[in-house]
Chain A
Amino acid sequence: MASSEGVTATVHRGGQRSAAAILRSQMRNIAPFLTLICLSGFFAIASPSFATLDNLGNILTQVSVTGIIAVGLTFVILCAEIDLSIAAIANVTGIAVAYFTLQESYVNIANVPLPGWAAIMLSLALCALLGLVNALGLTVIGIPSFIMTLAMMQIAAGISALLVRGQIAYKVPDLVTTLGSGSIGGIPWIVIVAAVMLLAGHLVLTYTRFGRYVYMVGGNREAAEYSGLNVKLILGSVMVISAVCSGIAGMLGVAHFGSAQQNEFDTYLLDSIAAVVVGGTSLFGGRGGIGNTIVGLFVLGVLNNGLDHVNIDSFLKILIRGLILLAALVINVYAQRLRARAAE
């Protein structure tokens, strides 16, 4: 009988599943962690000011805005989609919350002052709406997410431009100011918010039915559909989640930087994608998670911060970041192949 053959074959294979095989299948998680340890070690030796408690606080604060955006982006990439509009949506939401807040008299923007809670709700509604447009374009019309969110990047940037018209706004609602630039017991609120959102993202992905669906849709979309899952609903949801996370990051970011203006968040697009991918979440979907994203955030944070501590040409920094990202992508694709081979 075939079943008994199956036993021997698999037990045999199970026996061969040695430490090396396990190591290979876990490559995706191990490699980013090793990268983080190596980078930290290098900078700790190269600069006495790097490995201090103060500097750890700096790094945490520096990665917070990226971290909040990366929560939503992790959901999107786990579904094997991409969102290129994250930075633009962060920017427009930050500008919107300032637009609905009473500015000082010297700010020359024809804005609409509202109570703080209303400004926050309207801004959240705006980013959710933009995410919904992404979702509808992707699922109902069938535009690939790469193109759909590229268009959304322009649309969001356009709304930003229309709201501020080249000016700079400074005031945001008190709650946003506190969460973005205040601190409690020496810990910046923005770090706490990022930590809470990362934790929430992790809990949703690991312990809820929706989280399981995200992994299954990313792992094999066709099989998910043949299992009777509502694939379009799940894809649409992750696009909205991504936009709302970006919006929150945008509001807090504006408070953190102390101003709301055009093109303020441009670098966060690449940083957020890099954090998720460097952390080891598969671009092909279904593998990875918030844990990986946290490691990726630290790799990026240590790299950006550490390069400031060593004496290095500031223009060379950009090139180095690019090379590290490339290396991470190579590992990402390679780990996928190793994992597939281990599963065979």
Chain B
Amino acid sequence: MPQGRSPILELKEITKAFGGVEALRGVDFALYAGEIHGLVGENGAGKSTLMKIIAGVHPEFSGHFALDGRETRFRSARDAHSAGVAMVHQELSVAPDLSVAENVFLGTQPTNRFGLVQWRRMAREAGEQLARFGIDVDPMTRLGDLPIGLQQLIEIARVLFSGARIIILDEPTSALSPPEVERLFATLRRLRDEGTGIVFISHFIEDILRISDTVTVFRNGRKVHETEAAATSKAALIEAMIGKGREALEETYAHDITLPPRGDRPVVLKADALSLARSVQDVSFEVRAGEVLGIYGFMGCGQLELARVLFGKIKPDSGTVVIDDNRTAFRSTAAARRAGIAFVPESRRAMLFHQEPVYKNISISVLDRISALLLKPSRERSIAARQVEQLQIRPAAVELDLGMLSGGNQQKVALAKWLSYPPRVLVLCEPTRGMDVGAKNDVINIVRELSAKGLAIIVLSTEPETVLSLADRIIVMKRGAVVREFAGEVVSKDRLLEAA
């Protein structure tokens, strides 16, 4: 924190609520010119909300907002942009069908006095800027033809070279390889030395510690800690992030959990050296009958792609999936289902038929077992009714359109469709995301019962709580690869975060 200077950006007592839920509570934040300010905190801690307020994305909030010491309010992202504030959002937002040069100059193409785009000048300047950033590509290449990491670098380059005085980077390194991260950091340091104020948000605490001058920690919508990066450690930051003692919520899983020893039951599914472009790299693991395997990692670590490879939705570049000693590489989801794999994606919308009644949603995956040619609606209803009763789906009316059910009950229907004829392996992505405590507990109990019946279950989540509450064994993924396995040992939330 450079002393004796006034900050270029100063926020005081910022409070922001979304529909009654407070995302930020009385947060103070200051950014100085020539400073890289790291932000850490769990998902939903309020980091991104604060940055979106600074970038003009959320114009409604209470508190004081001062730019260069003068009270200001941005009404839109455009406002913020013209005031010199630029942000790289977490999700890639590029135009894949345009050229690299067009993407670099998106919205600011150089034009001549007739309003026509100066293509040659644009290509030359884009090439120069990217070269300064260590990127050597033909500026006229279609952006979508480049690897994802390079696309992300080019998006970052667009913001870095936009001439903004304040630059916010939200999770910029999740898709980058180590050398690309190095290049990004070199450029950030140069911009800092030229006097730009930079905010850097990341789940990767090592990155935060390496690049930042100052680090701020958020928890539950509050700023809980601010320190110089040189004066802290990864362990101290993680402790501040998840909180201990009085402040801890009822189940934060901050305490230690001892995982059961590896079972001796037969292996049901074995993934062997699966690779998929840059998202999954040489991933191998096995799951035994009656075992719940947790796969944990940050957003973008490749677990969602891995789940889709297991269910035959995406074809891997290499590697195989072995079920009950039958070596397969599923060509379709139908083949995966026949082999005994069941899959519940992270989005209920992608799994359910909202305009169809509950019983059709439940019977869809087992129709070929109960009817050869003609449908047997009474059989479908009785199968559905049994599942509705077992999983306590409310209201217990199989004729109701699925869209009428609450989110938690829809999630149970998504599970129910696989359970009338239990599969060999159940793959669950983010099974409790966005649920209230009651529905969460219901789902946890269902999963435990299924595993007691001998199903092999794989739970993939970006929430440590979900994995810790369900898994018998945990593997941690980072940038597409397995980096750590916890089996038969003590594990806790901070150990998981440390590994990821």
Contacts and interface: CB of A to CB of B under 8 A. Distances in A.
Interface of A: 1-7, 9-11, 13-14, 207-209, 211-213, 215-216, 219-220, 222-230, 232-233, 286-287, 339-340, 343-344
Contacts of B333: 225-229
A214 B326 CA distance: 32
A208 B376 CA distance: 9
Interface stretch (B44-52, B124-132, B219-227, B362-370): B362-370
B438 interface: yes
B388 to A, nearest CB: 11
B394 to A, nearest CB: 4
B343 A226 contact: yes
A226 B373 contact: no
Contact of B332 (A2, A9, A230): A230
26 contacts: A1-B438, A2-B409, A2-B435, A3-B409, A3-B442, A6-B395, A6-B405, A7-B394, A10-B400, A10-B405, A11-B395, A208-B373, A208-B374, A208-B375, A211-B375, A222-B350, A223-B349, A224-B364, A225-B333, A228-B334, A228-B337, A228-B338, A228-B342, A229-B364, A287-B355, A343-B355
Contacts of B351: 223, 226-227
Contacts of B311: 226
A26 to B, nearest CB: 13
Contacts of A213: 367
A310 B408 CA distance: 60
A228 B344 CA distance: 11
B68 interface: no
A50 B487 CA distance: 82
Interface string B387-429: 0000011110000110111101100000001000000000000
Given A208-B373, A208-B374, A226 B355 contact: no
A223 B404 CA distance: 18
Given A216-B364, A220-B353, A343-B355, A2 B439 contact: yes
Nearest to A224: B364
Nearest to B439: A2
Contacts of A232: 332
B104 interface: no
B360 interface: yes
A56 B438 CA distance: 62
A324 to B, nearest CB: 27
Nearest to B350: A222
A4 B404 contact: no
A337 to B, nearest CB: 13
Interface in B166-196: none
Determine which residue in B332, B338, B349, B400 has the highest number of CB atoms from chain A within 10 A of its CB, and name it: B332
A216 B356 contact: yes
B336 A3 contact: no
A10 B364 contact: no
A232 B333 CA distance: 11
Contact of B334 (A209, A230, A287): A230
A4 to B, nearest CB: 7
Contacts of A340: 355
A286 B355 CA distance: 9
Determine which residue in A4, A223, A340 has the highest number of CB atoms from chain B within 10 A of its CB, and name it: A223
Contacts of B405: 6, 10
Given A6-B395, A225-B313, A212 B360 contact: yes
Contacts of B258: none
Nearest to A7: B394
Given A6-B395, A209-B373, A225-B333, A343 B404 contact: yes
Contacts of B400: 10
Given A2-B435, A209-B373, A343-B401, A223 B367 contact: no
A234 to B, nearest CB: 10
B355 A6 contact: no
A212 B375 contact: yes
Given A209-B374, A343-B355, A13 B332 contact: no
Contact of B408 (A3, A10, A211, A223): A3
Contacts of A228: 333-334, 336-338, 342-343, 365
Closest 3 CB pairs of A and B: A228-B337, A2-B438, A2-B439
B364 A226 contact: no
Interface in B234-254: none
A10 B371 contact: no
Given A208-B375, A228-B337, A229-B364, A223 B350 contact: yes
B364 to A, nearest CB: 5
A207 B243 CA distance: 58
Contacts of A9: 406
B305 to A, nearest CB: 15
B325 interface: no
Contact of A343 (B338, B354, B372): B354
B436 interface: yes
Contacts of A211: 375
A6 B367 contact: no
A224 B355 CA distance: 13
B350 A209 contact: no
Determine which residue in A6, A219, A287 has the highest number of CB atoms from chain B within 10 A of its CB, and name it: A6
Contacts of B373: 208-209
B184 to A, nearest CB: 34
Contacts of A224: 364
A11 B404 CA distance: 10
A120 to B, nearest CB: 26
A344 B407 CA distance: 12
B354 A220 contact: yes
A340 B354 CA distance: 9
Determine which residue in A207, A228, A286 has the highest number of CB atoms from chain B within 10 A of its CB, and name it: A228
Contacts of A208: 373-375
B368 A3 contact: no
A11 B405 CA distance: 10
B345 interface: yes
A10 B406 contact: yes
A334 to B, nearest CB: 16
Contacts of B313: 225-226
A3 B356 contact: no
A227 B362 CA distance: 10
A211 B394 CA distance: 29
Interface in B434-458: 435-439, 442
A205 to B, nearest CB: 11
B375 A209 contact: yes
A175 to B, nearest CB: 28
A216 B408 CA distance: 22
A202 to B, nearest CB: 14
B345 A226 contact: yes
Contacts of B356: 215-216, 219
Nearest to A286: B355
B280 to A, nearest CB: 19
A339 B367 contact: no
B353 A13 contact: no
B85 interface: no
B375 A207 contact: yes
Nearest to B348: A223
B352 interface: yes
Interface string B50-77: 0000000000000000000000000000
B350 A219 contact: no
